[in-house]
Amino acid sequence: MPTISSGALKRMLHLPVNVVVSTPRVEEGPDGGTVVIVPVRPYANDMDRCARCGLRGRPYDRLGVRRWRHLDVGCARLLLEYAPRRVTCREHGVTVAMVPWARRRSAYTRDFEQQVAWLSVHAPRSAVSSLMRIDWKSVGPVCRRVADDLRAEQGAGLFDGLRSIGVDETSYKKGYRYMTVVVDHDRGRVIWMHEGHGRKVFDLFFQSLTETQRESIRVVTGDGARWIDECVFQWCPGAERILDGFHIVSWATDALDRVRTMAWREARKAGVAGKGAKDPIKGSRWALSKNASDLTEGQKAQLEYIANSNETLWEAYKLKERLRMILKQTADDAEPLLRQWIADAVLSGIDGFVELGEKIERRLFDILRTIRSGLSNARLEAVNNKIKTTIKIGYGYRNLDNLIGLVMPECGGLDLKLPGRQ
C-alpha cells in the first residue's frame, strides 16, 4: 500500500508551512468511532515563541502531550498531537509557547474554528454542534475567537476616515435587553457593538477613537434621543446631528395610535364598539400606520368608516400623513409646510399631537438639516434586521460577547471564508 509523504499529508490537512508532520496512527475513540492521530511539531525556530506576543522567549519546561481537534477525515475524527513547551517571556512571564496551527487557549485548530464560525452564520447552533461533533457551549467562544482574529487582521484602520456614522439600539433578547450598534454609512458595515444603550455606552465608542478619528466625523444620524445629542456635542462638536426621517414619522404614528386607543375606549364605554379585533376602530391600527399607497381594499374601507364616524381620529390620521409627505419635500419647500403643520398640530388640541407639534418645533432645524442632507438610518435599520435574523438563525446564544462574535463576520464587513478557499 503506497504511503503518503509528510509534505503531501501537510498540504492535504492544510497545515502551516512551518509545521513538521510525522506518520499518523489510527485509534479507537471513546465512543467507538475511528480517531486519526497526527503527531506534529513547529519548526525549531518557532518552538519558543510566546503565544501572546509572538516574541522569542527562553525555554522553561515542557508540558505533557496535548491534542487539538482538526477537520474530520471522512467519517473519522482527526487530532493533532504535540507536547508544547513553556517559555519565559520578558513581557508576559512564564507562558505556553505558540503553536502555528491553533489559537491561544483553544483545543481546536484554526481551520476547525473557521469552519465552525462559517457554519454558525448560516445554521442554528445546535446543527453546527451536531455536524462538527462538539459541545454546543463551545460554538459561541469559537465564533468570538475567530471574529477577534478577523478584526485584528482585516480591521486595520477600521475607525480611520469615518465621515458619517449612524447609531441605534437594537434588542437581542426578551426582557428589554438592548445593545448599541454603530454603523459606517460610507462603507455600509457595523464598526462597533456594545451591551446596553444610553449616553454612558455611546461614550465608550468615542473613547475608543483617537482625537483625529473623532475630528473626521462630519455627520451622526440617529433618532431624537437626547443622549445622542449630548455625546455628539461633547465628542464631535463640529459634526452635524441628523435625525432619521423614519423615526420622525414614528413619533406621529405613536401619537396616532394613542388617539386610536382612546377613541376605542370611548366607543366601548358608549356601548357602540364591536367585539375584539372586529371592531372597526380597534382593528384599524395597521390601516392608520401604513402609507396610503400601500393600503388594501379592506384597510381603505376601515379608513372610510373612521372618516365618517370619528372626526378626532381622522384629523390625527391626516396630520400624520401630512408630516410624512412634508419630509419628502426639499428643505426650502418643507420649512414653511413644517411651520404650518406645527401650528395646526398645536391648535388641533388632540392629545399627543399638541406635544408632538412642540417637539418638532424644538427640533425644527435638525429636521430641516435631515431633509437637506438626504441621509437616514435606513442602512442602520437594515443592519438591525440583519442582526436579528442572524440571532434567530444561531438560536441559543446567551453570552453577548459570543453573540457579537457571531454577528460581526456577517455584518461587520469581515471576510470569513471556509478553510482552504481563500
Asked whether the beta carbons of 49 and 104 are under 8 A apart, the reply is: no
Average pLDDT, the chain: 84
Lowest mean pLDDT among 67-71, 212-216, 289-293: 289-293
The rounded distance, in Å, linking the Cα atoms of 295 and 298 is 8
C-alpha cell at 214: 473623532
Query: What does the domain layout of the chain look like in residue ranges?
Result: 1-107, 108-244+380-415, 245-373
- Going by C-alpha positions, the residue among 160, 159, 166, 162 that lies closest to residue 370 is 166
As assigned by CATH, the class of the 108-244+380-415 domain is alpha beta
- Going by C-alpha positions, the residue among 339, 337, 287, 296 that lies closest to residue 314 is 287
N residues, the chain? 422
Q: How many CB atoms lie within 10 A of CB 422?
A: 7
Lowest mean pLDDT among 156-160, 313-317, 330-334: 156-160
- Going by C-alpha positions, the residue among 5, 44, 3, 34 that lies closest to residue 21 is 5
pLDDT in tens, 337-370: 999 999 999 999 988 899 999 988 988 888 888 8
In 3-state terms, what secondary structure has residue 240? strand
pLDDT in tens, 91-142: 889 999 999 999 988 999 999 999 998 888 888 878 888 899 988 788 888 8
